[in-house]
Amino acid sequence: MLGQIAFGSVLMVISVLMAALAIWALETAFARNARWLARAPHRPKLALVIVATSLAVLAMVTASVWLWAGAFHLLGVFATFEEAMYFTLVTFTTLGYGDVLMPQDWRILGGLAAANGLLHFGLMTAFMVEALRHVRVRQIEFTEG
């Protein structure tokens, strides 16, 4: 049990670090283009920010799902990588269909994967909202100033 908690915690930290690096890269790109993003026309640039952050979030979640699925497969939890990927995606998104189940010996690790998914979706939602808010505030300041 403690081994699963420790291993799951390491996977969660790696997953969050990957997301942090992606967020940092996108924030750097937004900072480099801040003046351009602040100038009119505003709506197309807001749409661009939404598309860019959505794609970045999708990439972050996909990378984390691959990380967990790879770990499940390497541990021999599932017979095939496809089964590990499917279980991880369903667990990460908290759909929980129940058609593919973790073996009883690995259930704690499955719960940690679900917790990582919840953490990711909260973090990514906050990131998307903050990126859009930041650009919009800069646009308003640029227009007024």
Closest CA to 65 of 117, 127, 112, 13: 117
Residue 59 to residue 70: CA distance in whole angstroms: 16
Q: Tokens in use for 28?
A: 């750097």
Task: Give the chain's length.
Answer: 145
Task: Please report, as a single letter, which amino acid is at residue 45.
Answer: K
pLDDT tens track, the chain, 145 positions: 899 999 999 999 999 999 999 999 999 999 999 999 999 999 999 999 999 999 999 999 999 999 999 999 999 999 999 999 999 999 998 888 888 888 888 999 999 999 999 999 899 999 999 999 999 999 998 888 6
Residue 113 to residue 4: CA distance in whole angstroms: 11
Residue 74 to residue 108: CA distance in whole angstroms: 17
**pTM greater than 0.85:** yes
pLDDT, residue 60, reads 92
pLDDT, residue 90, reads 94
Rounded to a whole number of angstroms, the distance between the first and last alpha carbons of the chain is 59
pLDDT, residue 11, reads 97
pLDDT, residue 95, reads 83
Task: Please report, as a single letter, which amino acid is at residue 37.
Answer: L
